[in-house]
Structure 1
Amino acid sequence: MTFNFLSPVSDVVLAQNELLLPQTLGKKLKIHTKAHGLPDLDNVKIAIIGVLENRNDVNYIGAEVNLDAIRTVFYNLYPGNWHTNLADLGDILKGDSVEDTYFALRTTITILLEKKIIPIILGGSQDLTYPIYRAYDSIAPMVNVVNVDSNFDLGDSTQPIKNNSYLGKIILEQPYNLFNYSTIGYQTYFNSQEEIDLMEKLYFEAYRLGEVSNAINLVEPVMRDAHIVSVDLKVIKASEVSKPQKYSPNGFDGKEICTIARYAGISNKVGSFGIYEYQNAAEDHVTAMLVAQIMWYFIEGVNCRVSENVLDDTVNYQKFNVLIDDDELVFYKSNKTGRWWIEIPFLPDVNNKLKKHTLLPCTYEDYTEAMQGKIPERWYKAYKKNTY
């Protein structure tokens, strides 16, 4: 299989890249160009892909997606002390239909996942999360999706897919590969009570904006268990972005969204990271710079990954058993990183989604609360999802 659907990075970006200092990211990336074609992907760990598709945006009125400003700013940044090789594979253009674009994106992501390359996807409307999820059909039997968004994006599953309703299609369409869905940064007044109730009924996780802003470390265990991370730029407060991007006076600030991106990068499970709903406009340097910095922090996180396998390594971990009524909760703590997990038991007599004992990332606070007789909510929801 080859990358037949990718168009080269624009000549405008490449011309500006020629003027950069040799230490900048633009000089260290492997870039898909018209003159030289696709770069060699041997030893490449992270690949940037633009997707110029936004026709399923509920507010679509013909605007085109252009990512040149983001690339120009990103190329100007300096890398950290990184050991991973990066590539920019260019853009997937709009197909004759949105379904054609979906097919091109799904095919491209599947190839990258098979090559163990992490794609950073720049969009385009957030419904592009759906074909990325479908790219995992042959990769992972169960998939966890994290949506950094002010909305749940459940929508009306009986209607055609839109950027505010793609989750309904993910939940209802076979094969049923979704194990968990988490929303980080939701704002209650943007979500109906019916949607909030449905999130609870499905045992999905939802973290309010204020909750995360008050304790940003809540995001780390959620990201540690994620395969797909989808960021809607509307989750960022209006004061942090330029005019075309302004959505709400409340939202994450630049520091918070970059911290969340770094947590996603650190996670060993995260195999794709997408940033969506970018509204390009002339002289919009601030939003482009923020997106570039979100990408930078995700890459920084990937470079800080530490391989850990608790169940196979009994030397570098401590095990704690906590009794709560009739339940025995088993916690593990890594001596290497200080991270915590809680065991989800395998139940042989029920219809398990999980086929063996598995570990759910958690926090030290989950352990201390369990010691006081309180069952961690993340464990309860994962346990219930495993048995219904």
Structure 2
Amino acid sequence: MAENDHPYAAARPGRFAAEIRTASPEGCAIALLGLPDDTGVGLNHGRLGARDGPAAFRRALVRYGANYHGPTRIDPASVGVFDAGDVQPRSSLEHTHDAVTRRVAELLDLGLTPVCVGGGHDLTWPVIRAVTAKHPHIVGLYYDAHLDVREEPGSGMPFRRIRLDTTCRELHVVGLDPFANSREHVEWFRTHGGFTHDSTPESIHGEHLFVSFDLDAVSSAEAPGVSAINPVGMSARQADDAAFRAGADRRVRSFDIMELNPTYDSDGRTARLAARLFLSFVAGFATRSTE
């Protein structure tokens, strides 16, 4: 895509999107990567539409200003952000996953912290496959109403694959809906290094962390545009705080925002929430340079 054809070209001066680089990652610390695929959601019998999540996210991001983060007075625009474009779906779920892993590995080799937007939550698996190759023995923290530890291929399986097929040996989940998970999956999770939390844990031990955010962790009153709605999820304010904390933690090697489904997001509120989470992550990231 030519730079003047990019959605950010419409961003007025003073908008955060106007500061995002699209031509070169030079001088940047964060790489934004779109994952427009919901094949895994279909395999999991979820509501289709998350393939359009990255595009909706970027449209929402253009509407946000670049200003100081209130509590810290840190300017998030001080962090260089490179938009690395999208990884387009391939002929099969496995081939798509392989392409995602390759692209994330390239960004990591450039010294960038990847922030991925999707797309089905299965796409977290190939992201973390690349991250663990660079940062072994990573610990995972994810926000989700579901454990996503199914055996079958699809959006319900990423954390089983991460636990079994990478060096990650510990997983923490926040926002779990006890009535949206089978007893079998809960037992598997607990016996494979999994811990559940009602809110973001104050401390997680580990040299490296990844943070993954499934938007269905948020109440459907505030985030209706997801693949599987959650009537009793966390608040948008809690999600925003979690994103800031993830950005501020120097151990966090990747962050993702998944399951944005604009088909069911009639007024765009979920896309705006996703963009807000990204901005809060970047604002948190900016505090790393002040420590």
Q: Same fold (TM over 0.5)?
A: yes
The alignment status of 1:21 with 2:12, answered yes or no, reads yes
Task: Give the match for residue 220 of structure 2.
Answer: 238
Partner of 1:59 in structure 2? 45
Matched, 1:258 2:240: yes
- For residues 265-315 of structure 1, the C-alpha deviation after alignment (integer angstroms, 9 at most, x for no partner) is 11111111111111113743211111110111111110112688xxxxxxx
Equivalent residue, structure 2, for 1:45: 29
Q: Does 1:171 align with 2:153?
A: no
Are 2:172 and 1:182 equivalent residues in the alignment?
yes
Q: Which residue of 1 aligns with 2:72?
A: none
Q: Could you tell me which runs of 5 or more consecutive residues in structure 2 were left unpaired when the two chains were aligned.
A: 69-74
On the 8 A contact 2:20/2:80 being kept in 1, the answer is yes
Contact 1:142–1:177 (8 Å) recurs in 2: yes
Highest RCO, 1 vs 2 (Cα 8 Å, sep ≥ 6) = 2
Check the 8 A contact 1:154/1:166 in 2, yes or no: yes
For residues 318-363 of structure 1, the C-alpha deviation after alignment (integer angstroms, 9 at most, x for no partner) is xxxxxxxxxxxxxxxxxxxxxxxxxxxxxxxxxxxxxxxxxxxxxx
Deviation of the 1:45 alpha carbon: 0.6
Give, as a single letter, the amino acid of the residue that structure 2 aligns with 1:145: G
Displacement of 1:220 in angstroms is 4.2
From 183, 187, 193, the equivalent of 1:193 is 183
- Is the Cα–Cα contact under 8 Å of residues 261 and 298 in structure 1 kept in the other structure? yes
How far residue 225 of structure 1 moved from its aligned partner, in angstroms, is 5.8
1:304 counterpart SS class: helix
Contact 2:216–2:223 at 8 Å: present in 1 too?
Answer: no
**CA apart distance, 1:109:** 0.8
Q: Is the 8 A contact 1:242 1:284 kept in 2?
A: no
Partner amino acid, structure 2, of 1:169: R
Aligned 8 A contact 1:224 1:267 in 2: no
Q: 1:294 aligns with which of 267, 273, 277?
A: 277
TM score, norm. by length of structure 2: 0.86
For the 8 Å contact 2:50–2:120, the answer to whether it is kept is no
Pairwise CA distance, 1:251: 0.5
Other-structure match for 2:125: 130
State the structure with more CA Rg. 1
The 2-side partners of 1:124 and 1:206 are apart by 24
Number of positions where the alignment pairs a residue of Structure 1 with one of Structure 2: 279
- Alignment-derived partner of residue 385 in structure 1: none
The alpha carbon displacement at 1:92 in A equals: 1.2
Give 2:71's aligned residue: none
Which structure has more helix as a fraction of its residues?
2
Q: Give, in angstroms, the shift of residue 226 of structure 1.
A: 5.2
8 Å Cα contact 2:51/2:119 also seen in 1 = yes
Q: Distance in 2 between matches of 1:60 and 1:183?
A: 21
SS state of the match for residue 141, structure 2?
strand
Letter of the structure 2 residue corresponding to residue 51 of structure 1: L
Instruction: Tell me if the contact between 1:150 and 1:190 (Cα under 8 Å) persists in the aligned partners.
Output: yes
Percentage of pairs with the same residue: 21
- Counterpart of 1:70 (choices 44, 51, 57) is 57
Q: Which runs of 5+ in 1 are unaligned?
A: 1-6, 32-38, 213-217, 309-388
**CA distance in structure 2 between the partners assigned to 1:106 and 1:10 by the alignment:** 28
CA contact 1:238–1:245 (8 Å) conserved in 2: no
Relative distance call for 1:245 and 1:11 in structure 2 (3 A) is farther
Whole-angstrom CA distance in 2 between matches of 1:114 and 1:201:
34
1:178 counterpart SS class: coil
Write the distance in 2 (CA, Å) between the matches of 1:25 and 1:153. 33
Residue of 81, 103, 120 corresponding to 1:86: 81
- Listed one character per residue, the Cα deviations across residues 47-92 of structure 1 (whole Å, up to 9, x for unaligned) are 1111111111112576462232321221221223132111212211
Residues 10 and 255 of structure 1: CA distance in aligned 2, closer, same or farther (over 3 Å): farther
TM-score normalised over the length of structure 1: 0.66
State the AA in 2 paired with 1:78.
G
Of 285-294 and 110-119, the range deviating more from structure 2? 110-119
Q: Distance in 1 between matches of 2:253 and 2:154?
A: 24
Q: Kindly tell me: are residues 188 and 9 of structure 1, through their superposed partners in 2, closer, same or farther at Cα, counting changes over 3 Å?
A: farther
Q: CA deviation at 1:246?
A: 6.6
Establish whether residue 97 from structure 1 lines up as the match of residue 92 from structure 2.
Answer: yes
Distance 1:74 1:165 in 2: 29
Judging changes above 3 Å, is the alpha-carbon distance between structure 1 residues 168 and 305 closer, same or farther for their aligned structure 2 residues?
Answer: same
Pair 1:141–1:183, CA change in 2 (3 A): same
Deviation at 1:139, TM superposition (A): 0.8
The answer for the alignment partner of 1:114 in structure 2 is 109
Q: Say which of 236, 243, 250 aligns to 1:268.
A: 250
Query: Cα–Cα, structure 1 residues 225 and 163, in superposed 2: closer, same or farther, change >3 Å?
Result: farther
**CA 1:195 to 1:269, structure 2 compared with 1: closer, same or farther past 3 Å?**
same
User: What amino acid is the match of 1:168?
Assistant: R
1:371: which partner in 2?
none
